[in-house]
Structure 1
Amino acid sequence: MKSKLRYVLVIAMTVAMSTALVRGTQEQGESFGDKLKNFFVRPKPTPKHRKKKKASPTPTISPLPAVTSTPAETPVSRPTPSRPPMIKPPPSPLGKKGAIPNATISTAEISGSESYSPEVQKVIDLGLNLTTQNLGYKINSADPAGRGMDSSGFVYHVLSRCGIKDVPRDAREQYVWVRKAGTFEAVLAQRDDSFELDALKPGDVLFWATPYSVSREPDVIQTMIYIGRDKATNQRLMVGASEGRTYKGQMRKGVGVFDFKIGRTASKASKEPAAVFVGYGHIPGLDRK
């Protein structure tokens, strides 16, 4: 019995060992073949896992608003404004061919004018300003807007504008006005170097009368304002309106500056004798200091 068991055990062990040997041989053959195959065959690279990029959102393009074409404006015909008619300016008193312009100077050309009182300076400044406006001689006019003035109208306008009260308009009335105020200085001599002119001051009113007067009261027909002596020539000067007097020896007309000479010198073109100088007077109410 024991021998049978041993026999069976030996056979089983033999079979087991044979089976194991066959399997080992197969595994070795497969392993060698696989190795040989892998030697000649290039292994495939292992694919790497790539991260998917986040797709950026596609910007949404908003549709452009439809452009509505504006209909072209229909041109409106407008009437062309008519030009106003050309207005010719009034003729200047110096517009005539060969006319000599009015004489004018500044206070700087008057000797000692810097020492004049403010009241006298105002009178002379206003008078000289009128000489720059090309005003002619115009009878019965005391307004420079009328493009001309007469002698008494000039005196009336200047003194009234300077604040002097109760200035008469007429030349004879201006003479009476000064006489009543007690400021008149009579001049009998008809010479420029007479002592009767020693009291003459800038701002005084000068008086001329007609040579035909037969009464003892002079018939005053012309007045002007004395302004002082020319700084260059020492000639006495006056300002006012005249139909014909000289400035630096040349005949002038209209509103301007003139030489003050008391001699009877008439214009060569005039057949009438010159007016006679009768005196001068200080302006009532005017401070001459």
Structure 2
Amino acid sequence: MNASPRISMILFCMISIAHAEATKKSEPAQDEQAKTPPPAAVSSVSIEDISGFDKYPKQVQSLVQSALALTHLELGYLYGSHEPNKGGMDCSGTVYHVLQFQGLKGVPRQSDEMCQWVEKKTQLHLTPTATGFDSEEFANLKPGDLLFWTNTTETKRKLPVTHVMIYLGKLKQNGKRVVFGASDGRSFAGLRRSGVSVFDFHLPKAESPTRFYGYGPAPGLLPVAVEPTPAVIAATTKPVEKTVPAEKPTPPPAEKPAASKEEVRKAVALVSEAKPEPKAEPKQTVVTETKPKATPTTKTKSSNGTVKKSTTTPVKKKTPPPPQKSQMEKTLDRAVDSMRRFFR
């Protein structure tokens, strides 16, 4: 009865040890955990050494400055750590710490998860055929981008990404590209470095099992560029103001001359004279002369004092023609004339 608990304990310990050994073998060689970090051998640069740093976006400048500050702490490479107070950090832990320090949210902890995070949230640029930085596959590389490497022989992850770093830019002195992160074996300026440091950015050689996988901006570091809608473009675009020449003032219309007022005359009825009927015999008409009335004389004084009499010439009035006689009267007149000629 007393032997069975001892056998159970022995079997439990053997199973636990076997499980620990299996778990250890399943992890990549690069991510093997060390109890204490190896001695740090790090390098650093200043922001004055980076070409065009003053033109970086403010968020990228802050990211680069905080990364370079960690290179002065002499931190070694320590697997599973993302805390500087432990004396070291691993590659994904270093990038995780810097991005968290910038206030980014939802930052994954492992390098493969970071790669998926970039692919879903921003844009992941793959470089499967690039052999140099002059390739078109590196046309979108910018300072602050996350860089990803893969080693298919040392990992069983769904996404074969085992290493991550941050791209810092080019050096003014020689134009070489530099990166920031944690590694144990990469170099800077021809020297092997170990720990949280600045490293040269080299693409793996053809015979190396390591490959550069791709790059992309960290989600949330820079504001997302949103293409404006046509309505926004129309509201924000100022219409082009056309310069219209000043119109000359039009002179006031000339006043028409006032129409001359015509003298209003009273209408006079025109009396048409009736044509006289043909006479059998010429009629003798007696014209009686009328004496002109004496016109008053006016006396005017001359310059000598003598009085001159001014007379006005009488105006002869025309006698109106006698009224026409009727047929009966005309017959009587002819009878009277014949009687007078008979008695003569």
The TM-score by the shorter chain falls in which range?
Answer: 0.5 to 0.7
Aligned counterparts of 1:265 and 1:249: Cα–Cα separation in 2: 20
Aligned to 1:16: none
Q: Measure how far apart 1:94 and its partner are.
A: 3.7
Task: Give the superposed CA RMSD.
Answer: 2.5
Tell me: CA distance 1:235–1:180, structure 2 relative to 1, closer, same or farther (3 Å): same
Distance 1:169 1:236 in 2: 26
1:93 Cα deviation (Å)? Answer: 4.8
Q: 1:121 aligns with which of 61, 70, 75?
A: 61
CA apart distance, 1:261: 1.1
| Helix, strand or coil at the partner of 1:253 | strand
| Aligned match of 2:212 | 277
For residue 208 of structure 1, report the CA deviation from its aligned partner: 0.5
Q: Structure 2-normalised TM-score?
A: 0.51
Q: Cα gap change, 1:245/1:213 in structure 2, threshold over 3 Å: closer, same or farther?
A: closer
Q: Which residue matches 1:264?
A: 205
Per-residue CA deviation, residues 147-195 of structure 1 (Å, 9 max, x unaligned), is 1000000010000010111000111110110011141100112323322
**What residue ranges of structure 1 are gaps of 5+ in the alignment?**
1-90, 96-100, 267-272
User: Which residue identity does 2:118 align to in structure 1?
Assistant: V
| 8 A contact 2:83–2:89 mirrored in 1 | yes
What is the one-letter code of the residue matched to 1:106?
S
1:136 corresponds in structure 2 to 76
TM-score (norm 1): 0.60
Runs of 4+ in 1 over 2 A off after TM superposition: 91-95, 190-193, 211-218, 263-266
* 2:198 match: secondary structure: strand
**Match of 2:228?**
none
Q: Equivalents in 2 of 1:191, 1:199: separation in Å?
A: 14
Deviations 1:220-278 (A, max 9, x none): 11100001001101001100000111111221111100011113389xxxxxx452110
Contact 2:37 2:88 in 1 (8 A): no
Question: What SS is found at the alignment partner of 2:182?
Answer: strand
Counterpart residue number, 1:184 = 124
Does the C-alpha gap of structure 1 residues 274 and 247 become closer, same or farther in structure 2, counting only changes over 3 Å?
A: farther
Counterpart Cα distance in 2 of 1:128 and 1:265: 31
What does residue 150 of structure 1 align with?
Answer: 90
Which residue matches 1:162? 102
SS at match of 2:184: strand
After superposition, residues 207-286 of structure 1 pair within 5 angstroms as 207-212=148-153, 218-264=159-205, 273-286=208-221
Q: 42, 50, 53: which is aligned to 1:110? A: 50
Q: Does 1:203 align with 2:144?
A: yes
Gaps of 5+ in 2: 1-35, 226-344
**Greater RCO (CA < 8 Å, at least 6 residues apart):** 1
- C-alpha distance in 2, partners of 1:210/1:167? 23
